[in-house]
Structure formats: structure tokens, C-alpha cells
Amino acid sequence: MLTLLYTRITELAASPRAVWWLIVVAVAESSVFPLPVDLMLVPMLLANRERAWFLAFVCTTASVVGGLIGWLLGAFLMKHIGMPIAHFYHADQRILNLEAMFRRYGVWIILAKGLTPLPYKFVTLAAGAAHFPLLPFIAASIVTRGARFFLEAALLRAFGEPIRDFIEKRLALVLFGALILIAGGIALIEFL
């Protein structure tokens, strides 16, 4: 199923309506969608490197809007929509743990998780469920999601195809490295 979704997303990235699809995928990825928006953003950046900054801006904006939807789902519909989403991804306990971490660490969770390709939807749902203040949530989401997408845009604009080859050939290694960094960051926060 994930392979079919990946194939379909890369096809959409090459379509004339790619920017609209990028918006849809970025909004959905931050609230309910199973795959990272990078699967669409990266091929779009490679296909049109001179539009890198525009695409990063669009992706950041749409991701923050999706994060706001996730926050609202968590804050007002966690029992009826948020937890079923978490349950679908077998992440019930992860959401509960994140909710508790929000109560303790707040904005640091958004900043740490928003940079990674790991599911941001869990952060948005947990932030809403914890009733984390909305304005700091939006501000941290803009910073962290913007940093991530503009960094991708800068790297792909500067280096192009070799970056894509590296990511595709070593995807598991890249994701594992990101996971280690996140786990280390959370452990550091836990012991501070």
C-alpha cells in the first residue's frame, strides 16, 4: 500500500497541478496522511529548482495549516477523531506520551519533532489534546516546518540529483539517523 501511495505521489509531483497537490498533501500530512510531504516536495524541487523558495514557502504554509487542523482535532475531537487516527497508525500510546510531554516541555516538542520526517500529525493531535496554547503552537510550527522545508529546498537547489540519489539509496539510514537524533533530543530534555 505504501509503495502505491509513493508511486502516486511522485506522479502527482510531475503533473501541471503539482502545487495544488503539494498543498493538499502538506495539509493532510500534518493532520491525517500516512506519508511525509517530502515524497512530493523533493521531486517537485528537483524538477523545477528555480522555484525552490516558492515551493518551500507553499509547503511550510500548508503544513502549518494542516497542523492547525490537527491541533483542533486534538483539542475538540480527540475522542472521536484524534484517537481513531492514532489507533489506525498503532500510535495510541505515542499520542498519550506526547500529550504528557507537551504539558511538561511545550514548545520544545514542536521544535524537535517538526524538523523530522516522523509523523507531525501526532505532534499536532497531542498539542491540541494537551490544550497547548495556540499562538506558540503556530509560531513554533512555522519555525520548525519552515526550517525543514527551506533546508530541503536549499540543498536540492544547490546539489540537485546527487541529494535525491543519496536519500533514495540510503532512506533507511537517513530515517534511522533522524530517529537517533530525536531520541537523543527527547532523552536530553527528559534529563534536564
Query: CA 30 → CA 121, 148, 157, 166, distances in Å?
Result: 5, 14, 24, 25
DSSP string covering 95-154, please?
HHHHHHHHHHHTHHHHHHHHTSSS-HHHHHHHHHHTT--HHHHHHHHHHHHHHHHHHHHH
pLDDT on residue 53: 96
Indicate the pTM of the whole model: 0.76
Query: CA 97 → CA 35, 57, 68, 108, 112, distances in Å?
Result: 22, 31, 20, 14, 15
pLDDT for 31-54, tens place per residue? 877 677 887 888 888 878 889 999
Q: Tell me the average pLDDT across 152-173.
A: 75
Q: Tell me the average pLDDT across 135-149.
A: 91
Q: Identify whether the C-beta of residue 157 lies closer than 8 Å to the C-beta of residue 52.
A: yes
pLDDT for 70-103, tens place per residue? 999 888 887 787 778 777 777 777 777 777 878 7
Q: What single-letter DSSP state applies at residue 45?
A: H
More confident residue, 1 or 86: 86
Among residues 90, 72, 68, the alpha carbon closest in space to that of 129 is found at 72
More confident residue, 146 or 177: 146
Quote the CA–CA distance of 51 and 37 in Å, as a whole number.
17
